């Protein structure tokens, strides 16, 4: 088991090299720090998470040479195949837990957000996408669509469908989503 762990670390070294060259090192460093705190894993182990590799490719997309280098490395260390990120701006510290079957197409995402599996954040029929504030948690299977604003410190419950603005410090759930609790969310 220990030998396998060392092999995984060695395989992740080329991605670490790409991270060290990246012009957005501070942003990537913030992402890695948050993933370290949440997963209790070391940096080289985090580079092994397909969800993190997808986020890293998103961060590198504006640097063609590094993006190409990262894509070559990702032939062997694949990103999550069913996780799609198409967002104008994502703040530092985005954590994607089990990013399977997840689409993230927001106009913007704030700092320290947490997105679970099978989440859809996207456009409505008017081609407008949600703006997501800081410290937002979007639970498994939730949907947020349209030109809505989701405030800071919001928790969107599992399976909720959000089509209207959500005030800061609110927990919402249901179909359609409605406030379940106001005040600073727990967790």
Question: Residue ranges of the domains in the chain?
Answer: 1-81, 82-187
Write the CB contacts of 56 (distance below 8 Å, at least 6 apart in sequence). Answer: 15, 18, 19, 28, 31, 47, 70, 79
Helix axes 50-60, 64-73, angle to 10 degrees: 160
Helix axes 2-21, 64-73, angle to 10 degrees: 170
Are residues 98 and 117 in contact, defined by beta-carbon separation less than 8 angstroms? Answer: yes
Of residues 72, 20, 74, 21, the one with CA closest to residue 51: 74
**pTM score of the predicted model:** 0.86
Task: Say how far apart CA 6 and CA 168 lie, in whole Å.
Answer: 44
* Cis bond before residue 33 (omega within 30° of 0): no
What is the CATH number that goes with domain 82-187? 2.160.10.10
What are the pLDDT digits (tens) for 98-157?
999 999 999 999 999 999 999 999 999 999 999 999 999 999 999 999 999 999 999 999
Beta pairing, strands 170-173 & 143-145:
unpaired
What are the pLDDT digits (tens) for 78-112?
888 899 999 999 999 999 999 999 999 999 999 99
Local structure of residue 98 (DSSP, 8 states)? S
What are the pLDDT digits (tens) for 1-22?
444 344 455 566 666 666 666 6
């Amino acid at each position: 088991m220990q030998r396998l762990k060392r092999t995984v670390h060695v395989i992740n070294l080329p991605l670490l090299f790409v991270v060290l060259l990246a012009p957005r090192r501070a942003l990537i460093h913030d992402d890695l720090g948050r993933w370290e705190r949440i997963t209790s894993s070391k940096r080289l182990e985090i580079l092994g998470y397909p969800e993190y590799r997808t986020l890293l490719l998103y961060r590198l997309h504006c640097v063609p040479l590094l993006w190409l280098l990262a894509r070559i490395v990702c032939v062997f260390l694949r990103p999550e195949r069913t996780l799609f990120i198409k967002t104008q701006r994502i703040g530092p510290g985005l954590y994607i837990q089990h990013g399977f079957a997840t689409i993230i197409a927001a106009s913007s995402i704030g700092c320290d957000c947490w997105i679970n599996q099978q989440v859809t954040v996207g456009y409505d029929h008017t081609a407008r996408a949600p703006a997501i504030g800081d410290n937002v948690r979007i639970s498994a299977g939730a949907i947020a669509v349209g030109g809505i604003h989701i405030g800071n410190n919001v928790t969107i419950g599992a399976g909720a469908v959000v089509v209207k603005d959500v005030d800061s410090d609110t927990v919402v759930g249901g179909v359609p989503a409605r406030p379940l609790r106001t005040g600073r969310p727990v967790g």
